Amino acid sequence: MNSKIMETNTVQGLDQEVLRYAVDLRSDTLTRPTPEMRQAMANAEVGDDVYGEDPTVNKLEKRAAEIFGKEAALFVPTGCMGNLISIKIWTHHGDEVICDVLGHVNLYELASMSAIAGCMPRPVQGVDGILNWKLIEAAIRPKIYYDSQTALVCLENSHNMAGGMLYTSAQIAKICEHAHTVKLKVHLDGARVFNASVALGESVAEICRKVDSVMFCLSKGLGAPVGSMIVGSQEFIDKGRVYRKMFGGGMRQAGVLAAAGLLALEKSPARLHIDHEHAQLLAKAAASIPGLRIDPSKVRTNILIFDCSQTGKTAVQFCDALAAHGVLAQDTALYSVRFVTHCDVDRAGIDRAITVLREVVAKTVSVGA
């Protein structure tokens, strides 16, 4: 989504020299494995996971199921594949999937729910990205044979493009109870559900208690190099294993990845509050700079999105200006800039980002004009 991608429609990595010194707040996907993870990867016991014989993958799946309070879990290469597998399981071709307009499944998964699962997204405008039963109920199709039918509700917690907004476990439980009454399944895109858990002070098991399935990423704030998981009933996971293979995601000695995933799962949640504090510092600083607009009270996790329209710069121009000073951010809409804090940016990096933010806006002549 940076200017280079827009121009060429292909990802052109930034210069390695730029990356070495940058404060990179484009995404928490950029986190690199810790030395401890690399050591665990090197020492991992492995086997062929397509045969179910990789002990490290099996251990990771067992731990994930335990932590989420569900029957079973499945290691998948990416979050996108985890969401697609889940959607495929809960729907038939021609069904509709209710999701937020800004939901990842609606915007950033290459329309895979349509292209592969044969479903149509039924996007609903949430309140700051957050859906409630009233909004969902209004989008359910009537049970008439010539109408496409609603099969699934997909929630996102934390909500990426809504600036890390949260559902409480009570909000999710309420939606699930209503949805189940009318025979709809609920899938949670929990790419950052551990961030939600830390911010809410509620366990991931509590947050996911009533959802039929959940996907979460090991590769984002938790810091593993590769991998996501889907979690749910044994029956759901048995089907998931079939679709994972069908979609080309059956990996062999995946224990080298699962070893890092296990450390991410066990250790990383305990430090996510630091990323949230850093996001709060950035949000408060941005709010204090004339020309930038953001409500810091809405920043609860590791994502913040501010409006730069009053600086006279588009988000692409704004990000380019930050990048020239070694701070990398992501434009998410014409005038929206996103920062994502993570374990590879420390307090000094955050302070530098704040200084650069002030400088870039100060140099922009049209502020207040």
Ligand X SMILES: *Cc1c(COP(=O)(O)O)cnc(C)c1O
Query: Contact between 275 and ligand X (CB under 6 A)?
Result: no
Query: Contact between 214 and ligand X (CB under 6 A)?
Result: no
Give Dmax over CA atoms of the chain in angstroms.
65
Structure tokens at 123: 């996007």
**With respect to ligand X, which residue has the nearer C-beta, 96 or 189?**
189
**With respect to ligand X, which residue has the nearer C-beta, 83 or 91?**
83
**With respect to ligand X, which residue has the nearer C-beta, 124 or 289?**
124
**With respect to ligand X, which residue has the nearer C-beta, 100 or 321?**
100
Identify how many contiguous H helices and E strands the chain contains and give both numbers: 16, 12
Closest approach of Cβ 52 to ligand X, in Å?
Answer: 23
Rounded distance between C-alpha atoms, residue 360 and residue 199, angstroms: 31
Query: Contact between 160 and ligand X (CB under 6 A)?
Result: yes
**With respect to ligand X, which residue has the nearer C-beta, 27 or 280?**
27
Closest approach of Cβ 360 to ligand X, in Å?
Answer: 26
Query: Contact between 189 and ligand X (CB under 6 A)?
Result: yes
The strand pairing partners of 217, in sequence order, are: 228
Query: Contact between 156 and ligand X (CB under 6 A)?
Result: yes
Interacting residue with ligand X among 72, 204, 217, 231 (CB under 6 A): 217
Sheet holding 336-340, edge to edge: 303-307, 336-340, 330-333
**With respect to ligand X, which residue has the nearer C-beta, 191 or 308?**
191
Q: Provide the 8-state DSSP code for 162.
A: T
Interacting residue with ligand X among 2, 219, 311, 336 (CB under 6 A): 219
The span from the first CA to the last CA of the chain, in angstroms, equals 28
Q: Is the preceding omega at residue 336 within 30 degrees of 0, hence cis?
A: no
Query: Contact between 230 and ligand X (CB under 6 A)?
Result: no
Q: Strands 96-100 and 150-156: what pairing?
A: parallel
Q: Is the four-CA dihedral 273, 274, 280, 286 of positive or negative sign?
A: negative
Helix (H, G, I), strand (E, B) or coil at 358: helix
**With respect to ligand X, which residue has the nearer C-beta, 2 or 83?**
83
Interacting residue with ligand X among 78, 112, 114, 310 (CB under 6 A): 78
Rounded distance between C-alpha atoms, residue 113 and residue 106, angstroms: 9
Closest approach of Cβ 162 to ligand X, in Å?
Answer: 10
Closest approach of Cβ 226 to ligand X, in Å?
Answer: 9
Rounded distance between C-alpha atoms, residue 359 and residue 346, angstroms: 20
Query: Binding string, 96-125, against ligand X, x = CB under 6 A?
Result: --------x---------------------
**With respect to ligand X, which residue has the nearer C-beta, 227 or 255?**
227
Rounded distance between C-alpha atoms, residue 282 and residue 214, angstroms: 30
Q: Which of residues 7-66 bind ligand X (CB under 6 A)?
A: none
Rounded distance between C-alpha atoms, residue 317 and residue 321, angstroms: 6
The residue range among 54-62, 75-83, 234-242, 343-351 that interacts with ligand X, by the rule CB under 6 A, is 75-83
The residue range among 63-71, 73-81, 276-284, 345-353 that interacts with ligand X, by the rule CB under 6 A, is 73-81
Closest-by-Cβ residue to ligand X is 79
Sheet holding 96-100, edge to edge: 72-76, 228-232, 213-217, 185-189, 150-156, 96-100, 120-124
List residues near ligand X by CB under 6 A: 78-80, 83, 104, 156, 160, 189, 191, 217, 219, 228
